[in-house]
Amino acid sequence: MRKLILAVVLLAIFALMPLAADLLGQNALQTLSARILIYAMAAASLNLILGYGGMVSFGHAAYFGVGAYVVGILYSHWMSEVPIFGLFPGSNQLLITLPAAMLLSGFAALVIGALSLRTGGIQFIMITLAFAQMIFFLFVSLTAYGGEDGIIIRRSNEVPGLNMRDKTTVYYVILVVAVLYFAWMWRVVNSSFGQVLKGIRQNERRMEAMGIATFRYKLYAFVLAGMGAGLAGALMANFLRFTSPDMMHWTKSGELIIMVILGGLGTFFGPILGAAAFLILEFYLADWTEHWQLGLGIILLFVVLFTKGGILGMIDRLRGGRQ
């Protein structure tokens, strides 16, 4: 019941944010809220393998960037009317670009996961980081698609019946996709598949002794997480109308990990609260000082050392103390 109330409260806040931003004359609040929704999806996809599966990936931003570039590349070929590889036409339709971004990001996760999941510990972390940096430098070298400067998307992808030139319309499209994604994520983490992932995190050898093919389950989770990050990246490209290699840099992976830890590792609502906390702190601390990362680092240390479960853990402890 408590989780349902929290879900309704969060949905109401995000749904009313454009109205609140208009009333307060703070249009930046709508932009901030949209970024929170998108990064919450990316962080939730990472939480699936990190929080529930115990796989510490330092290359998750690669799939986020691949999803964004799928949108950018399809748009540029749609504008130039030149098929990709002479075979596939470009597109500016959201109902085409989003599934394409998810499929290609999932394929990248499949290839990387099939190789990296054969290792563990620090080796797994370093291999995922290495693959992510390889993808990063690959897109930096693609001068046909802007190289380091990235791709400018002059218009958000179109949806039949909607005016996607309006930022508020784009915002509500992002909100609807986010709600559907988190509803799907709820089903996944509370399914038998999610329970197996939790078991692998706690004791992989015991799960293998029970006859469970842990590698296969971990690879499935890795691919699903990559697809979720790709979906978030595609939405970000549409919202910003821009994509660049910076979206897949290893520092972006670090930011996603921070969001997961801030909110609460292995919790359903943790990535949402973590993304909100990270971006709000970034938004306001950056106004005070150019060294805002120092303040964020101090807050993160406090959360890790004293809250024992991130923001959600701190809330639960406060509620327990009151009771």
Average pLDDT over residues 5-23: 91
- For the stretch 297-307, what's the b/e string if a residue is b when 16 or more beta carbons lie within 10 angstroms of its beta carbon? eeebeebeeeb
Average pLDDT over residues 193-213: 91
Q: pLDDT by residue (tens digit) across 127-161?
A: 999 999 999 999 999 988 988 999 999 889 999 99
Q: pLDDT by residue (tens digit) across 67-98?
A: 999 999 999 999 888 888 888 888 999 999 99
How many Å is the Cα radius of gyration of the chain?
A: 20
3-class secondary structure, 249: coil
Q: Which of 113-122, 141-150, 279-288 has the lowest mean pLDDT?
A: 279-288
Average pLDDT over residues 309-321: 73
pLDDT of residue 301: 82
Q: Can you tell me the distance from the alpha carbon of 214 to that of 70, in angstroms, rounded to the nearest whole number?
A: 31
Q: pLDDT by residue (tens digit) across 28-60?
A: 899 999 999 999 999 999 999 999 999 999 999
pLDDT range class, residue 319, cuts 50, 70, 90: low
Average pLDDT over residues 269-277: 93
Residue 224 in this model has a pLDDT that exceeds 50: yes
Average pLDDT over residues 222-241: 96
Percent of the chain clearing pLDDT 70 (strictly above): 98
Which residues, in sequence order, are CB contacts of 189 under 8 Å at separation 6+? 48, 52, 197, 268
pTM of the complete model beyond 0.85 = yes
Could you tell me if 59 and 250 are in contact, meaning their C-beta atoms sit under 8 angstroms apart?
Answer: yes
Q: Which of 165-174, 185-194, 269-278, 284-293 has the lowest mean pLDDT?
A: 284-293
Q: Can you tell me the distance from the alpha carbon of 124 to that of 113, in angstroms, rounded to the nearest whole number?
A: 10
Instruction: Determine the residue type at 294.
Output: L
DSSP state of 245: G
Residue 302 in this model has a pLDDT that exceeds 50: yes
Tell me the average pLDDT of the chain: 90
Could you tell me if 71 and 238 are in contact, meaning their C-beta atoms sit under 8 angstroms apart?
Answer: yes
pLDDT of residue 323: 45
Q: How many residues does the chain have?
A: 323
Q: pLDDT by residue (tens digit) across 237-266?
A: 999 999 999 999 999 999 999 999 999 888
Could you tell me if 314 and 262 are in contact, meaning their C-beta atoms sit under 8 angstroms apart?
Answer: no
Cβ neighbours of 293 (radius 10 Å) = 13
Average pLDDT over residues 215-221: 95
Average pLDDT over residues 290-310: 79
